Amino acid sequence: RGAVEFRNVSFGYGPERLVLKCVNFKIAPGTTVALVGPSGAGKSTIMRLLFRFYDVNEGAVLVDGQDVRTVTQASLRANIGVVPQDTVLFNNTVRYNIQYGRLEASTADVISAAKNADIHDRILTFPDAYDTQVGERGLRLSGGEKQRIAIARTILKDPAIVLLDEATSALDTHTERNIQAALGKVCVNRTTLIIAHRLSTIIHADEILVLKEGEIVERGNHETLLRQE
């Protein structure tokens, strides 16, 4: 579970311009792929096509060998988790925010998701903090903590595929690396991870796809791409 394929995908938001031009790649289940490229290269668009926010103009997007156009929205949503750049937390407890989407989750599930996402010690060592209100007068969370909560609530749903769309780009490099490492640990051999990022240096990925103006201009791993520079 969690195989992804883009087969000769072309796409434009309007008729005047193609934003993706004959994009081809395959991602094996349980591996991590980084989509790297400047702003406007088409990274977010690839993610939107994957969960069928839009349909391709040409080619096909396949998840586990099935064209996403033949799969129900409900099953796509269950299969694909998204961690956005700016997490919006509910004005509710930390626990509620982690449980969101799986409200029947037990406390043990929530704690284990939080541990996997490596949420701040303060929250782990004071389980009461789970029941602390997130918001104006409640627990003050840093950007890094918010993103960890977003990751915890995504992994609790155990989707086959997790998309990180610049999910950690707003954080400092140190926090960013920690979060990527925590996520990599839970996802390895279990969850396909697709990370969109402007820099390739941050990410540990099995494969890096370099996008430019809607085309994959290079692909490889850190070593092979570095050798070319």
Q: Does residue number 53 form part of the binding site for ligand ADP (CB under 6 A)?
A: no
- Residue closer to ligand ADP (CB basis): 146 or 153: 146
Beta bridge partners of 44: none
Q: Does residue number 175 form part of the binding site for ligand ADP (CB under 6 A)?
A: yes
Q: Does residue number 145 form part of the binding site for ligand ADP (CB under 6 A)?
A: yes
Strand arrangement, sheet containing 207-212: 80-83, 161-165, 192-197, 32-36, 207-212, 215-220
Question: Shortest approach of ligand ADP to residue 168 CB, angstroms?
Answer: 11
Question: Shortest approach of ligand ADP to residue 63 CB, angstroms?
Answer: 19
Which stretch in 3-11, 72-80, 138-146, 184-192 sits in contact with ligand ADP by CB under 6 A? 138-146
Q: Give Dmax (Cα) for the chain.
A: 55
Strand arrangement, sheet containing 58-63: 20-27, 4-11, 58-63, 66-67
Q: Does residue number 200 form part of the binding site for ligand ADP (CB under 6 A)?
A: no
Q: Does residue number 125 form part of the binding site for ligand ADP (CB under 6 A)?
A: no
Give the other-Cβ count within 10 Å of 180's Cβ: 22
Pick the closest to residue 141 from 120, 160, 169 (CA basis): 120
Question: Shortest approach of ligand ADP to residue 106 CB, angstroms?
Answer: 26
- Residue closer to ligand ADP (CB basis): 46 or 63: 46
Could you tell me how far CA 48 lies from the centroid of its own chain?
A: 12
Which stretch in 60-68, 96-104, 141-149, 154-162 sits in contact with ligand ADP by CB under 6 A? 141-149
Query: DSSP string spanning 21-58?
Result: EEEEEEE-TT-EEEEE--TTSSHHHHHHHHTTSS--SE
The residues of the shown chain that bind ligand ADP, judged by CB under 6 A, are 13, 19, 37, 39-45, 120, 140-145, 175, 196
